[in-house]
Amino acid sequence: MDKLESDNVKSLPIVWSCNEWDPLEEVIVGSVEGAIVPLWDDVAVQAIVPEHARWFFEKYGGQPFPDEMIEMASKDLDRLCEVLTSLGVKVKRPDKVDFSKDYTTPWWTSKGLYSAMPRDIFLVVADTVIEAPMAWRSRYFESFAFRNLIQEYFNKGAKWLAAPKPSMAGDFYNKDYSPETPYIGDEKQFVVTENQIAFDAADFVRFGKDILVQKSNVTNAMGIEWVRRHLGPEFTVHEVEFDDAHPMHIDTTIVPLCPGKLLINPTWVDKSKLPDLFKDWEIIEAPAPVFTNDSALFFSSDWLTMNFLSIDEKRIIVEENEKPLIDLLKKHGFEPIPIPFRNFYPFGGSMHCATTDIRRRGKLEKYF
């Protein structure tokens, strides 16, 4: 990367986002249209699906999500788009793709999943879109739903870097991994091995020139090293580990609210064990989620509470039922904007997952 230090924020590149809180100007919002339920026999899926949700994959695996779920979640997404537009944010949506088609590589056959979670695939660091290689077979071609959009940004000057994809052949997955015993001694185990590069973009969280990342069931050490090397010496990529026994995506674990304020998931993050980086930051514990032991959370923990979207350093779009979170944010001087989003949760995320920043107005800075 070069010349990223520019003070001139008036003429931002078409793609420019350095953190989670600078004023949002343009965003991609995902879609659940045509979403397909992954097959239960996929070990990478088993690694993170909560036990209560197993029946759903056994019943619907390889089939479309039920129509009613798609309709209701689509309404939530459309409402999110309306609210973003009313706040002056430009919204882009993916192309319609047939995820039900079988595709075959030299090693395996699969169907697709969806284009609901652009945050999982694209990591925007300053002026560069990094396309993640992913680690689920059902997500191998997911980025193509966004290809026209990213190509448009490329044509307007964005940098675009795609990581090498793992084969996702059998030996890419850890045959000894068991979701029931995710630790051996103190050492966390993962379903992806280290034999090829793997990462999802949502395991990274951006704080300007510092980026935090966790190893997970979709992100390995080689994947982290690939990002570190390609970002170059201007950025520091810090690997962190928390107590999520089945990690996949960091955006319900730690969420920066603005410079100096970090929201943490108190069940997975021990304040006293946070990296030294945060010694001068205010650490705020997220309140317990409203939807607990929720049987409709098919891919995630209850903590989608924290998976919200910041419009700027004050305004945060949050799920309207999450009253304890709304009160807490207000207490800390933020201005929550509640919207209905509960019907999107069964697809595995909330509005942070459902979006990816394309442009936030600000500078590339050091916050630690």
Burial class (CB in 10 A: 0-12, 13-18, 19+), 312: middle
Asked about 200 being catalytic, the answer comes back as: yes
Piece in contact with ligand NVA (CB under 6 A), picked from 5-13, 78-86, 147-155, 245-253 = 245-253
Out of 42, 302, 353, 357, pick the active-site residue. Answer: 353
Site string for ligand NVA, 304-333 (x = CB under 6 A): ---x--------------------------
Residue 261 β-bridge partners: 258, 282
Q: What is the DSSP letter of 65?
A: P
Distance of CA 207 to the CA centre of its chain: 15
Binding residue (CB under 6 A) for ligand NVA from 300, 305, 310, 356: 300
Count of CB atoms situated within 10 Å of the CB of 183: 9
Binding residue (CB under 6 A) for ligand NVA from 22, 251, 319, 322: 251
Beta carbon nearer to ligand NVA, 26 or 251:
251
Piece in contact with ligand NVA (CB under 6 A), picked from 3-11, 67-75, 244-252, 278-286 = 244-252
Does 356 participate in binding ligand NVA (rule CB under 6 A)? no
Element housing 78 (H / E): helix 67-86
Residues between 84 and 143 that touch ligand NVA (CB under 6 A): none
Residue type, 35: A
CB 252 to ligand NVA: min, Å: 3
Binding residue (CB under 6 A) for ligand NVA from 182, 223, 256, 349: 349
Q: Is 158 left (phi over 0), alpha (psi -120 to 50) or beta?
A: beta
2: CB partners within 8 A, 6+ apart: none
Does 249 participate in binding ligand NVA (rule CB under 6 A)? yes
DSSP secondary structure of 292-330: -S-TT-SSS-SGGGG--EESSSSEEEEETT-HHHHHHHH
The SS3 assignment for 123 reads strand
Beta carbon nearer to ligand NVA, 16 or 345:
345
Does 242 participate in binding ligand NVA (rule CB under 6 A)? no
Piece in contact with ligand NVA (CB under 6 A), picked from 147-155, 191-199, 248-256, 320-328 = 248-256
CB 303 to ligand NVA: min, Å: 4
Beta carbon nearer to ligand NVA, 222 or 255:
255
Report the distance separating Cα 192 and Cα 340, nearest Å: 35
Element housing 331 (H / E): helix 323-331
Burial class (CB in 10 A: 0-12, 13-18, 19+), 290: middle
Binding residue (CB under 6 A) for ligand NVA from 138, 252, 343, 355: 252
Q: Are 38 and 140 in contact (CB under 8 A)?
A: no
> Where do contacts with ligand NVA occur on this chain (CB under 6 A)?
248-249, 251-252, 300-301, 303, 307, 349, 353
Active site members: 200, 249, 353
